[in-house]
A and B are shown apart, each in its own frame.
Chain A
Amino acid sequence: MSTDRRADGLHTHLPPAGPGRVDDVDPTARPGVPMEHLPEPFPTAPERVVVQRPRVEVLQIPGRKKPVWVVSNAQPPRGLSGRLRRRAFRIPEHHPQHWMLLLAADRLEVRLTRAKRWLGFAAGALALWAVLRAIEDR
């Protein structure tokens, strides 16, 4: 099969698609066969791992034996939606209630964020109106 490459690194002669393109016919040539191989650490995996200490509240699924090694500090649970999320994380994930509560928290958070934004706009508009009135009254 052609492997010509132009000087700029772009391929020039791509082989046609379709039947006859049979490079990985032999299952042993396929890199994920079998999907689960005999245990061996990934060659460049770290030998020792420090467990990351979160800077914010990280919700963990109940029943976890040990903490995970890395976490995200982004968007910790907050406010009313945060309370719903904390509740959800007291229920194991094989119970649908866990997921229903999380979805409810998502929708609530979106509505509250929107309401806060509108309240901010409204307060701004009101302040502007008051200032204009004050100027007019002078």
Chain B
Amino acid sequence: MRALAYFGPGNVRVVKKPDPRIEHPQDVVLRVTRAAICGSDLHLLHGLVPDTRVGCTLGHEFTGVVEEVGRDVKTLKRGDRVVVPFNISCGRCFFCERGLFANCENTNPSSNDIASGVYGYSHTTGGFEGGQAEYVRVPFADVGPTRIPEDMEDEEVLFLSDILPTGYQAAEMGEIQKGETVIVFGSGPVGLFAQLSAWLMGAGRVIAVDRVPERLHFARQFNGVEILNFEEVDDPVMTLREMTGGRGADVCIDAVGMEAEGSTLERALGLKANLEAGVATALAWCIQTARKGGNVSIVGVYGPPWNLVPIGTAMNKGLTLRMNQCNVKRYLPHLLKHIREGRIDARRIITHRFPLERAPEAYDLFEKRARGCIKCVLLPHGEA
């Protein structure tokens, strides 16, 4: 089969690989119909995630058709169309039993501290091959994949694999109460869905912060939020405090993660000198613009082993910091209902579609945020 593979920082290519096969009785193999490129794939592309091995296939957001079924799989059969959460979860360990599917302890041999197994996200999350390929192996097929309703198209539900539930969980962890003010840092796909979810949870004001004018424009159109381009002001923290009555926002959401812009010093430390795991500027701004006693919710991805974070400020302001990788499976039925009933039109954020062979070009476009790119989707088998 053909698959997109990593060959070093800034270098991904489409290569031939052996087809995946059933390796465990609870596996299925999918023929991939849609595979999205995620903002967090850029951290891999930039070589920021440790143990990203040459030749690994990226991609953790995909839909597909069941092609082969392991002998112990009970709920799926050949031909079923499914959307797959990015986390690989066993469904019955200490953590899965408590709903913490992202923290499953049975799918990632390489780490106790990072996450469960994840498709296409380095050997730090288990080294499982990703979905930016013609076929992909899906372990624990009775737990992760969700069947796509017959009257729905793959692209309508594709983002249930990660960015929509991640954005929703971001808002949920903010414990938004009716009428509260929410600042969302980062207006990429996850930020957009966090803004939308904040409205669904009754926010009174939602402010989107980013530096890419097209993304802010899109946020205003898609979600009807207030916007701030932090590059157009001297001091974004002061501006946001002013915008929120001097006190700060009730809830701040970090939908940026480890490659934030905004601080030359931190970028030098984190991205040039590698003295910290990337850059935590967005998180610092969350802490600095939340009101005392407010909540900060983190879904932006940070790597090990450490980051510079103004934790003293957080402590002295009495903030609550909440964070996790998304427990995707918890949200699938609820968000599927929102999509079916027309409250969320997730597919609208797709700006570009590419065949698999042009995946490197898609990465380039997405990385540069060029041509108004919000979200790129790959079609490994064409329109089918």
Residues of A within 8 A of B (CB): 1-5, 9, 11, 13-25, 27, 30-33, 35-42, 44-46, 49-50, 52, 55, 58-61, 63-64, 67-75, 85, 88-89, 93-96, 98-99, 102-103, 105-107, 109-110, 113-114
Contact = CB atoms under 8 A, between A and B. Distances in A.
Specify the main secondary structure of chain B where it touches its partner.
loop
B183 to A, nearest CB: 16
A68 B50 contact: no
B274 A32 contact: no
Contacts of A99: 50, 277, 303-305
A113 B224 CA distance: 48
Contacts of B7: 110, 113
Nearest to A107: B47
A113 B8 contact: yes
A35 B342 contact: no
13 contacts: A17-B199, A19-B204, A21-B200, A22-B200, A23-B338, A40-B97, A46-B90, A70-B23, A70-B90, A70-B140, A72-B129, A107-B47, A110-B7
Given A9-B156, A32-B169, A59-B110, A74 B8 contact: no
Contacts of B113: 93-94
Interface in B73-98: 74-75, 88-92, 94, 96-98
A70 B111 CA distance: 14
Contact of B9 (A11, A40, A89, A110): A110
Contacts of A113: 7-8, 54
B359 interface: no
A128 B151 CA distance: 59
B98 A36 contact: yes
**Which bucket holds chain B's interface residue count?**
35 or more
B51 A46 contact: no
Interface string B126-147: 1111000000000110110000
Contact of B142 (A21, A46, A96): A46
Given A72-B128, A96-B306, 11 more contacts: A9-B152, A32-B330, A39-B97, A46-B91, A46-B142, A46-B143, A49-B90, A59-B110, A68-B108, A71-B127, A96-B304
A37 B99 contact: yes
Interface string B309-330: 0000000000000101001011
B334 interface: yes
Nearest to B114: A93
A13 B98 contact: no
Given A32-B169, A109-B53, A42 B92 contact: yes
Contact of A74 (B24, B51, B56): B56
Contacts of A49: 26, 90, 92, 106
A17 B306 CA distance: 38
Nearest to B48: A103
B341 A1 contact: yes
A74 B175 contact: no
Contact of B92 (A2, A35, A46, A107): A46
B202 interface: yes
Contact of B343 (A23, A59, A67, A71): A23
Given A41-B91, A59-B109, A96-B305, A103 B338 contact: no
Interface in B162-204: 169, 172-173, 175, 178, 196-197, 199-204
A17 to B, nearest CB: 4
B212 to A, nearest CB: 19
Contact of A36 (B100, B172, B204): B100
B250 interface: no
B355 interface: no
Contacts of A55: 23
B51 A71 contact: no
Chain A to chain B: the 8 pairs with minimum beta-carbon distance, closest first:
A45-B91, A18-B224, A110-B8, A42-B91, A25-B202, A102-B50, A75-B53, A39-B97
Given A42-B92, A75-B55, A68 B111 contact: no
Contact of B223 (A17, A52, A60): A17
Contacts of A110: 7-9, 11, 47, 54
B222 interface: yes
B39 interface: no
B172 A30 contact: yes
Contact of B126 (A18, A30, A71): A71
B175 A27 contact: yes
